[in-house]
């Protein structure tokens, strides 16, 4: 980190500590003021301010500071009075840490980054006295110009103050990167959740995702049962009835039997095709035989859009992850073709060995406006990936383009079988 840039960052962090005092006072007033909606608004602003501190710690120092989700304030607690509002403010560990930050710890963090800023400022004052101190002492009547232990009265003492100021300013510049890093570590120590909270959040996440997985599995079994009952089973029953009729008419009307056999053969072909489609919907053969890369290429070839596929996979993921990612990509490709009015499609798949994760990007040049909260398609993709601790990010401004990013933690254990 360059020292001048670090000094600028220290100055900005110091100003954020000043803003912390504003949010401390705002939340304090909101707790004592029974105005509906004031306390949630104040705590939301406090969280945005603290989130900025977290983000800067990650961006400037590479130190990730996690945060747990906030618990909303119910209207009944707003009506219950001061004690209920204080309990709501303090009962959530994350909100309590944020409140302590803007009240106390933000001031301490501001002192950390104020040291290099103050040293550089004081050093520049010494340089100023080197240039103008003798004049001010002699002609302007400023007596008692002291810079630390140097009494600035003439040019030699002014030069001493200037050299001393340069040394102090250089010390401040040297401290600036270290102060920014120290500030980020203090942010993590003060705002990061405890191990118990992380474990509780992890357990809650696993319980939710496993419940979604069980629900999805049950829904899939019901779909398969319904498709078999309404499709292939019905055709096989009809084929059996046709063959039974052909058997009874075999000696009386051979021509009619020939037509019935042709009808039965057509029914068997249709039933076989429906069974193949059903199996393909459960787990495409190309995915099982050739792997994710060729399965996605096949998906792109069948898409009505002009698709560009880029894949960099040194080996195959585990089959459950491979299947989840394939169907997630299939859903996004289908959405682009049906709803986005797109003409072109981009699919990028790569494995990040540093993060031990499979990363997928699907983009189109459609009209945009995709939002997981407004439909079941992307929300289902998000739930499917969450089963494997995967995440989904959607960037789709109105007017397009749309970029959907997925990341699923996994290891590549199976050998590479794709033709690429």
Structural domains counted in the chain: 3
Compute mean pLDDT per 10 residues along the chain, 420 residues long, and list them: 82 88 86 79 87 87 75 52 75 83 87 90 85 72 72 79 87 90 89 73 64 58 61 66 70 70 72 60 68 84 85 85 85 81 87 87 85 70 80 84 88 58
What pLDDT score was predicted for residue 233?
Answer: 62
Residues 186 and 66 sit within 8 Å (Cβ to Cβ): no
Q: Are 159 and 248 members of one domain?
A: no
CATH number for the domain harbouring residue 315: 3.30.565.10
Measuring CA to CA, which residue among 293, 279, 355 is closest to residue 329? Answer: 293
Residues 310 and 328 reside in one and the same domain: yes
3-class SS letters over the chain: CCHHHHHHHHHHHHHHHHHHHHHHHHHHHHHHCCCCCHHHHHHHHHHHHHHHHHHHHHHHHCCCCCCCCCCCCCHHHHHHCHHHHHHHHHHCHHHHHHHHHHHHHHHHHHHHHHHHHHHHHHHHHHHHHHHHHHHHHHCCCCCCCEECCEECCCHHHHHHHHHHHHHHHHHHHHHHHHHHHHHHHHHHHHHCCCHHHHHHHHHHHHHHHHHHHHHHHHHHHHHHHHHHHHHHHHHHHHHHHHHHHHHHCCCCCHHHHHHHHHHHHHHHHHHHHHHHHHHHHHCCHHHHHHCHHHHHHHHHHHCCCEEEEEEECCCEECHHHHHHHHHHHHHHHHHHHHHCCCCEEEEEEEEECCCCEEEEEEEECCCCCCCHHHCHHHHHHHHHHHCCCCEEEEECCCCCCEEEEEEEECCEEECCCCCC
152, 158 contact by CB (below 8 A): yes
Domain membership flag for residue 396:
yes
Cα angle 271, 272, 273; round to 5? 90
Residue 340 contacts residue 370 (beta carbons within 8 Å): yes
- pLDDT confidence of residue 340: 76
Are 137 and 228 in the same domain?
A: no
> Does 35 lie in the same domain as 63?
yes
Domain closes at, from 282, 308, 342: 282
Looking at the fold, whether 301 and 382 belong to one and the same domain comes out as yes
**Full domain range(s) for residue 398:** 286-414
Angular region, 279: left φ>0, alpha ψ -120 to 50, beta rest: alpha
- Residue 71: left if φ>0, alpha if ψ -120 to 50, beta else—which one? beta
> Does residue 70 sit in the same domain as residue 53?
yes
| pLDDT of res. 96 | 84
Q: Are residues 240 and 321 in the same domain?
A: no
Q: In 10 A of CB 363, how many CB atoms?
A: 22
**Residue that finishes a domain, picked among 228, 260, 282:** 282
Q: Is residue 420 part of a domain?
A: no
As given in the structure block, the two tokens for residue 225 are 């049962």
Produce one character per residue of 28-50: b if its CB has 16 or more CB atoms within 10 Å, e if not: eebbeeeeeebbbebbebbbebb
Does 267 share its domain with 322? no
User: What is the predicted pLDDT for the residue at 98?
Assistant: 86
Please, is 229 exposed, middle or buried when counting C-beta atoms within 10 Å of its C-beta (0-12, 13-18, 19+)?
exposed
Joined together, the tokens standing for residue 110 give: 């501001």
Tell me the C-alpha to C-alpha distance, in Å, between residue 313 and each of 130, 169, 328, 403.
64, 52, 17, 21
* Confidence at residue 234, expressed as pLDDT on a 0 to 100 scale: 64
Q: Tell me whether residue 345 is in a domain.
A: yes
**Would residue 419 count as lying in a domain?**
no
Closest CA to 27 of 96, 105, 92, 110: 96
* 244 and 374, same domain (yes or no): no
């Amino acid at each position: 980190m360059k020292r001048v840039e670090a000094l600028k960052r220290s100055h900005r962090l110091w100003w954020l500590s000043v803003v912390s005092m504003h949010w401390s006072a705002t939340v304090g007033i909101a707790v004592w003021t029974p105005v509906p909606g004031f306390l949630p608004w104040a705590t939301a602003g406090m969280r945005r301010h603290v989130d900025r501190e977290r983000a800067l710690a990650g961006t400037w120092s590479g130190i990730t500071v996690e945060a747990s989700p906030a618990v909303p304030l119910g209207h009944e607690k707003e009506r219950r009075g001061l004690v209920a509002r204080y309990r709501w403010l303090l009962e959530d560990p994350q909100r309590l840490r944020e409140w302590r930050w803007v009240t106390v710890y933000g001031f301490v963090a501001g002192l950390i980054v104020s040291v290099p800023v103050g040293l550089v400022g004081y050093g520049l004052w010494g340089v100023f006295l080197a240039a103008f101190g003798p004049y001010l002492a002699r002609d302007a009547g400023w007596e008692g110009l002291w810079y630390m232990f140097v009494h600035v009265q003439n040019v030699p003492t002014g030069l001493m103050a200037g050299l001393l100021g340069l040394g102090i300013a250089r010390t401040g510049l040297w401290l600036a990167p270290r102060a920014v890093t120290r500030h980020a570590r203090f942010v993590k120590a003060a705002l990061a959740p405890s191990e118990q909270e992380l474990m509780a959040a992890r357990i809650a996440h696993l319980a939710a995702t496993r419940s979604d997985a069980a629900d999805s599995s049950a829904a899939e079994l019901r779909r398969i049962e319904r498709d078999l009952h309404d499709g292939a089973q019905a055709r096989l029953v009809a084929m059996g009835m046709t063959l039974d009729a052909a058997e009874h008419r075999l000696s009386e009307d051979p021509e009619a039997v020939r037509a019935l056999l042709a009808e039965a053969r057509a029914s068997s072909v249709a039933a076989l095709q429906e069974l193949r489609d059903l199996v393909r919907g459960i787990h495409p053969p190309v995915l099982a035989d050739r792997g994710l890369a060729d399965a996605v290429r096949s998906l792109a070839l069948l898409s009505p859009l002009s698709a560009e596929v880029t894949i960099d996979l040194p080996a195959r993921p585990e089959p459950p992850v491979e299947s989840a990612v394939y169907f997630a990509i299939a859903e996004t490709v289908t959405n682009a073709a049906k709803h986005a009015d797109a003409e072109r499609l981009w699919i990028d798949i790569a494995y990040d060995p540093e993060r031990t994760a499979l990363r997928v990007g699907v983009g189109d040049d459609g009209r945009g406006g995709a939002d997981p909260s407004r439909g079941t398609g992307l929300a289902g993709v998000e739930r499917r990936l969450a089963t494997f601790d995967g995440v989904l990010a959607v960037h789709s401004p109105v007017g397009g383009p749309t970029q959907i990013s997925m990341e699923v933690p996994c290891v590549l254990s199976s050998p590479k079988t794709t033709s690429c």
